[in-house]
């Protein structure tokens, strides 16, 4: 029978083999951060060093004397993920080891708030690191306090239901875009191939790369553990969290056209939004439309603009390269 058996592939996801994350780590059941790290490491491979500031992953990684990753990990002070990575990169450069991935893996607190300054410094210098912010939208490690990544309307322990978060989520991606770094992108654990592709792409670029990864947190979002991927998918499909990439602060590419499922489908799966009234949800809908209008306008505009002239961050002076 002339049947092509080789073309049979039941897999929905095609991801790199090999695991760098071990079982036994201390993440909560259903933790999006653990899944995110697993996927990121698949893309990064064993030639990687990871910096983890204070955040959930600092605990997930296990207490002394255990380690959860089979690559070197440096756990650092809360504010310092980006600069610690820059330091490692500088050291490896002096040792002539130019092909090791140096990755900062930080939560939203350590990126949007306390780590903001160091991050801005590192990317302004275009230090050759990959910075991945895994965003569960609050200070989850310390017990669910609000951060500037917490979305409008969300309950946290410091924005209780009487006064839920009134400010919109800070747009860290656009802030990174305005630093004109070679590569900025958003990603979601529900779109693993897209995330892996973006990390693999970042690996190949010299200079500062920033990836904003949306992750679920059953404990902090008050959602079911089993729904972590589903909720992450809805974040994208409702338009709450767009998937896009920006090169050199100019070229925008929207990677996924959402179905624009009504946002209530996303909100109702999370207890942190349970108190919202119709008018708040309507505000959220308007905000989604507004953000998408801007995003599409930027994509449109980006097509017409040329890339920055110093797009290849060439050596300045006597051969000083990045981190120097």
- Closest to 213 in 3D by CA, of 106, 324, 120: 106
Decide if residue 175 touches other proteins (CB under 8 A). no
Q: Collapse the DSSP code of 293 into the 3-class scheme (helix H, G, I; strand E, B; otherwise coil) and give the result.
A: helix
Contacting other proteins within 87-116 (CB under 8 A): 87-88, 90-95, 100
Binding mask 49-68 for other proteins (x = CB under 8 A): x-x------xx-xxxxxxxx
User: Taking the complex as a whole, how short is the minimal distance between the CB of residue 41 and other proteins, in angstroms?
Assistant: 10
Contact assessment for residue 85 and residue 76, using Cβ atoms and an 8 Å cutoff: no
Token look-up 């039941």 returns 10
Decide if residue 19 touches other proteins (CB under 8 A). yes
State which residue, 31 or 235, has the beta carbon closest to other proteins.
Answer: 31
State which residue, 234 or 276, has the beta carbon closest to other proteins.
Answer: 234
For other proteins, which residue of 55, 56, 76, 267 counts as binding (CB under 8 A)? Answer: 76
For other proteins, which residue of 145, 158, 227, 264 counts as binding (CB under 8 A)? Answer: 227
State which residue, 193 or 310, has the beta carbon closest to other proteins.
Answer: 193
Decide if residue 30 touches other proteins (CB under 8 A). yes
User: Taking the complex as a whole, how short is the minimal distance between the CB of residue 282 and other proteins, in angstroms?
Assistant: 27
User: Taking the complex as a whole, how short is the minimal distance between the CB of residue 251 and other proteins, in angstroms?
Assistant: 27
Decide if residue 235 touches other proteins (CB under 8 A). no
Decide if residue 208 touches other proteins (CB under 8 A). no
Contact assessment for residue 34 and residue 27, using Cβ atoms and an 8 Å cutoff: yes
- β-bridge pairing 244-247 and 183-188: antiparallel
Binding mask 128-167 for other proteins (x = CB under 8 A): ----------------------------------------
For other proteins, which residue of 18, 98, 121, 160 counts as binding (CB under 8 A)? Answer: 121
Q: Which helix (H) or strand (E) holds 301?
A: helix 278-304
Q: How far apart are the first and last CA of the chain?
A: 64
Decide if residue 124 touches other proteins (CB under 8 A). yes
d(CA 248, CA 227): 35
Token look-up 């760098």 returns 20
d(CA 203, CA 306): 24
For other proteins, which residue of 44, 55, 56, 85 counts as binding (CB under 8 A)? Answer: 85
CA angle 33, 248, 113 (to 5 degrees): 40
Q: Using CA of residue 287, residue 288, residue 294, residue 295, what is the dihedral sign?
A: positive
User: Taking the complex as a whole, how short is the minimal distance between the CB of residue 98 and other proteins, in angstroms?
Assistant: 12
State which residue, 29 or 160, has the beta carbon closest to other proteins.
Answer: 29
Total binding residues for other proteins by CB under 8 A?
88
Contacting other proteins within 265-324 (CB under 8 A): 317-318, 320, 323-324
* Token code pair at residue 164: 């839920």
Decide if residue 243 touches other proteins (CB under 8 A). no
What residues does 212 pair with on adjacent strands? 133, 186
CA–centroid distance for 313 within its chain: 24
CA angle 294, 297, 300 (to 5 degrees): 155
User: Taking the complex as a whole, how short is the minimal distance between the CB of residue 112 and other proteins, in angstroms?
Assistant: 17
d(CA 321, CA 129): 13
For other proteins, which residue of 175, 205, 219, 229 counts as binding (CB under 8 A)? Answer: 229
């Amino acid at each position: 029978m002339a049947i092509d058996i080789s073309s049979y592939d039941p897999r929905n996801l095609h991801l790199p083999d090999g695991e760098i994350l071990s079982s036994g780590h201390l993440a909560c059941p259903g933790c999006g951060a653990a899944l995110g790290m697993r996927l990121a490491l698949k893309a990064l491979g064993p030639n990687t060093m990871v910096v983890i500031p204070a955040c959930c992953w600092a605990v997930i990684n296990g207490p002394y004397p255990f380690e959860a990753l089979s690559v070197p990990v440096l756990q650092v002070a809360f504010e310092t993920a980006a600069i610690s990575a820059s330091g490692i990169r500088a050291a490896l450069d002096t040792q002539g080891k130019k092909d090791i991935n140096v990755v900062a893996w930080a939560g939203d607190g350590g990126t949007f708030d306390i780590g903001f300054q160091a991050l801005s410094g590192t990317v302004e210098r275009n230090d050759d690191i990959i910075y991945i912010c895994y965003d569960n939208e609050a200070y989850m490690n310390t017990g669910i306090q609000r951060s500037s990544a917490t979305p409008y309307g969300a309950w946290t322990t410091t924005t209780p239901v009487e006064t839920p978060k009134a400010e919109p989520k800070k747009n860290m991606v656009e802030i990174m875009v305005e630093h004109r770094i070679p590569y900025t992108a958003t990603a979601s654990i529900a779109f693993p191939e897209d995330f892996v592709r973006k990390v693999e792409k970042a690996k190949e670029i010299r200079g500062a790369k920033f990836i904003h990864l949306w992750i679920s947190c059953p404990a902090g979002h008050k959602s079911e553990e089993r729904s972590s991927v589903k909720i992450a998918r809805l974040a994208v499909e409702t338009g709450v969290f767009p998937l896009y990439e920006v090169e050199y602060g100019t070229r925008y590419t929207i990677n996924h056209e959402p179905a624009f499922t009504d946002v209530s489908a996303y909100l109702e799966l999370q207890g942190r939004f349970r108190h919202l009234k119709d008018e708040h949800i309507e505000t959220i809908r308007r905000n989604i439309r507004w953000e998408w209008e801007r995003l599409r306008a930027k994509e449109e505009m980006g097509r017409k603009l040329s890339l920055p002239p110093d797009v290849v961050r060439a050596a300045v002076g006597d051969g000083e390269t990045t981190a120097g």
